[in-house]
Structure 1
């Protein structure tokens, strides 16, 4: 489990408590070893999250401070962003203005390398994929290589080995940006045309930051925003 998701889970467990909870009980509720939860609590307090306490007296959420913050998992954040992006184009004037403001606030919680992508919210609701997109998001975060079956614009289905980088919008199409081993280059795959995916245990050998930088350089060089 990613540290960010662990921290959110710990916060939610604390939020459900009306009194300080001991580290052993907290670890059991979170479903992680005591040593991991202890370190995560130290991280939360170093980052000024509304948590206080110690091993002797237990830990609790400071309600007054918690009311000023909203701590989302990456899945919750993506869902909120997609909803706000839809409202920008489909809501009335006041709702659209509020949605644009919300997009800016939510984007501040998104990892920096994804912020230029999420602001392109698309013009229409994207067709839902035939596979569980949560599995693909896990591959994105874990830097896993993915084997997929992809149907191109001519209807031909091919098997691809890809290094998934980010999901985004290109006009009205939701796309997956990835390095394609078959084409030996970056490609933008329409998510609605992915027939199946298989997330492998293997990870691609390049750091995500380096791959993002290479993709940006490719975009600037070619001006190609949707090489599907």
Structure 2
């Protein structure tokens, strides 16, 4: 591996960590010595990388630091395009359009050699299980989560009982057979999982719930035994 590539990989690793990470950990992930990490950190800092920390305490890349344009490996491109293709098959029109645009942008800048290999289509997303129709838009739910808004829904449970709930939306899950909303339910004073296809009406109250979405997510993860890195939203 060239030194330039190693420096870039080090930036990528730092970007993946939300908290200070020890030089020994970085060295282990890159397969180099701790002394090399110290030298590379100093080099990146001298070139303008906003890396905080010091030996013995760990290092943290400021979240607003912009990395240079990426050059993906063939396997990375396959993974990105495969994931984007899966998204285009979901019922969220806004996400479908975003995935299509992402595929177009990636394809437009690929070198001819990589573009030819990807056009061979060695892997594809197969047909999935047909999901029940939705009466609410997934984009509305995503917007409520981003704005941390209290929403009111009419929900039909497994026993066909219709109830009205005030909930704090936390996470939207895309599963093979359905979409699932994780939310704190004011009625039950507990986290509940709502199948989106069973939501009959959806109203955004535009009232912000009293806790931050990130804090609620961590609490839910603890109740489910889910590690932070296993959840993306």
Q: Tell me the TM-score range normalised by the shorter chain.
A: 0.3 to 0.5
> Greater CA radius of gyration, 1 or 2?
2
TM-score of the pair, normalised by structure 2: 0.45
